[in-house]
Amino acid sequence: MAACSKGEPDALFVQGAAQQQAKQICLRCPVVRECLADALDNRTEFGVWGGMTERERRAMLRRHPSVPSWKALFERGLDCQESA
């Protein structure tokens, strides 16, 4: 079960410094990689997902535009440099 499912859902849809607090929720989450992969694969625009803010996810997608499936990449245990 996701760590965020036990708290206030709006806690992950914040701006500014509050995003750092939201990211802390993800640190203890057992499905953080799956969550991040889903957000990257679906180009989720808002909120903290998988321990990353929307800005951080956009930057990751720009740096690695050739990744066809983040879920598959993470399942294979690879990082972005190994996939190139």
Binding-site positions for [4Fe-4S] cluster read 4, 26, 29, 35
How far apart are alpha carbons 58 and 74 in whole angstroms?
18
Contact 35, 46 (CB under 8 A): no
The binding site comprises 4, 26, 29, 35
Buried b (16+ CB within 10 A) or exposed e, 32-63: bbbbbbebbbeeeeebbbbbbbbebbeebeee
Three-state secondary structure call for residue 52: strand
